[in-house]
Amino acid sequence: MSKEGKRRVALITGITGQDGSYLAEYLLSLGYDVHGIIRKSSSFNTSRIDHIYVDPHTEGNTFFLHFGDLSDGELVSKFIYSVKPDEVYNLAAQSHVRVSFDMPEYTGNVNALGTARLLERIRGSESNTRLYQASTSEMFGNSPPPQDENTPFRPRSPYAIAKLYAHLMSINYRESYNMFCANGILFNHESPRRGETFVTRKITMAIARIVAKRDKTLFLGNLDAQRDWGFAPEYVECMHKMLNVDKPDDFVIGTGETHSVREFLEHAFSYMGLDYTDFVKIDKRYFRPSEVESLKSNPSKANKKLGWKPKINFDDLVKIMVDSDMRKLDLTPIGEGDEILKRKFPEKWWRTD
């Protein structure tokens, strides 16, 4: 609720994605009216939010979905003017780094110009709408770790370059027009809802399929890359925090730990009593033309100014994701991941799946 006793209204682009689905659940749990933009698709693309969908005819419904696309400026205008959001969370993106090398123009249109469209429409609405921009640790590229808010950006992919344009535009609108624009520079965050082509989820799904005897081999690319992997539900809470402080600012969000893809493999396979070297083969197709070798956050600004500290570490994350993918194939999980969730989040606001 606002100070005047009105329900707060949030608009989420990318609501059908990993982060969008958790953020929608979180904001609903805080009493927001939540509007989300979904893309028209010939197949169902709402599986991550089906459990919170409410028939729009239901009295008191606070969750609304609208067809749209960030490449369509007219529609973006319509949403800003008709929904009149207090907070906009811009999570929509072509978010796959490898794919951005195959689709650089499209990636720029959505990730970079899509953000410009939103910023310009919010400015035109002369409202006090606050914008959260989903920036990324990929923008650091080959700047050596640890990376914080003052680390130079040296992006290495069309994805990261498009995101950097959006990041700088958001700062420019803050400085030029006094708009409340906050950039969350989030390091990799994963969950049971992670897209199936990102490396962590690809690994945990493969393990379940191997245990179920449906697969024998997992093909991967560069096993030496290092990432700072955190737990997505914790990260969406930060997005909300960033829009609910006095002054707009930019924050690095991560765990401060880094691990290689190989370490993720070792932990995940050995959790199920398996040796990854028996199953993993390298396929050059999954290498990137230019790679980001090592990401490791220094999240001290967020610790200090947002009071944020992650509860889930690397080992916890691996267990949570393997347990979940085992359950999805009707296999009995080891269960340590489920225990960690119960212990660390006694009042969990999201559905575990």
Q: Whose CA is closest to 317, among 279, 264, 276, 272?
A: 264
Element (H, E) at 124: helix 114-124
Other C-beta atoms lying within 10 Å of the C-beta of residue 99 = 16
Chain position carrying tokens 């123009």:
105
- Show the tokens assigned to 186: 């989030």
CB of 261 to ligand GDD, least distance (A): 5
The partner in contact with residue 225, picked from ligand NAP, ligand GDD, none with C-beta cut-offs of 5 to 8 angstroms by kind, is ligand GDD
- Show the tokens assigned to 76: 């973006």
CB of 330 to ligand GDD, least distance (A): 25
* Dist. CA 316–CA 264, nearest whole Å: 11
- Residue (68 or 333) nearer to ligand NAP, CB: 68
Kindly tell me which residue out of 1, 29, 31, 45 binds ligand NAP, with binding defined by CB under 6 A: 45
Q: Whose CA is closest to 264, among 217, 220, 330, 302?
A: 220
- Which residues fall within 8 angstroms of residue 60, CB to CB, at 6 or more apart? none
Kindly tell me which residue out of 133, 147, 170, 188 binds ligand GDD, with binding defined by CB under 6 A: 188
Kindly tell me which residue out of 8, 66, 78, 202 binds ligand GDD, with binding defined by CB under 6 A: 202
Binding mask 96-135 for ligand GDD (x = CB under 6 A): -xx-------------------------------------
Binding mask 136-175 for ligand GDD (x = CB under 6 A): xxx-------------------------------------
The partner in contact with residue 14, picked from ligand GDD, ligand NAP, none with C-beta cut-offs of 5 to 8 angstroms by kind, is ligand NAP
The partner in contact with residue 133, picked from ligand GDD, ligand NAP, none with C-beta cut-offs of 5 to 8 angstroms by kind, is none
* Dist. CA 162–CA 110, nearest whole Å: 8
Q: Interacting stretch for ligand NAP, rule CB under 6 A, among 63-71, 79-87, 209-217, 315-323?
A: 63-71
CB of 22 within 8 A of CB of 350? yes
Kindly name the residue from 26, 89, 159, 165 that is annotated as catalytic: 159
CB of 21 within 8 A of CB of 15? yes
Exposure pattern of 206-232 as b/e (b: 16+ CB <10 Å)?
Answer: bbbbbbeeeeeebebbbeebbbbbbbb
Is residue 311 within the footprint of ligand GDD (CB under 6 A)?
A: no
Q: Interacting stretch for ligand NAP, rule CB under 6 A, among 78-86, 181-189, 268-276, 323-331?
A: 181-189
Helix (H, G, I), strand (E, B) or coil at 16: coil
Does 196 qualify as catalytic in the annotation?
no
Is residue 205 within the footprint of ligand GDD (CB under 6 A)?
A: no
Is residue 17 within the footprint of ligand NAP (CB under 6 A)?
A: yes
Does 217 qualify as catalytic in the annotation?
no
Does 59 qualify as catalytic in the annotation?
no
What are the backbone dihedrals phi and psi of residue 249, each rounded to the nearest 5 degrees, phi first? -155, 175
Element (H, E) at 100: helix 97-102
CB of 16 to ligand GDD, least distance (A): 15
Chain position carrying tokens 């923008």:
139
Binding site for ligand NAP (CB under 6 A): 13-14, 16-20, 37, 39, 41, 45, 69-71, 91-95, 110, 134, 136, 186, 188-189, 195
Residues known to be catalytic: 136, 138, 159
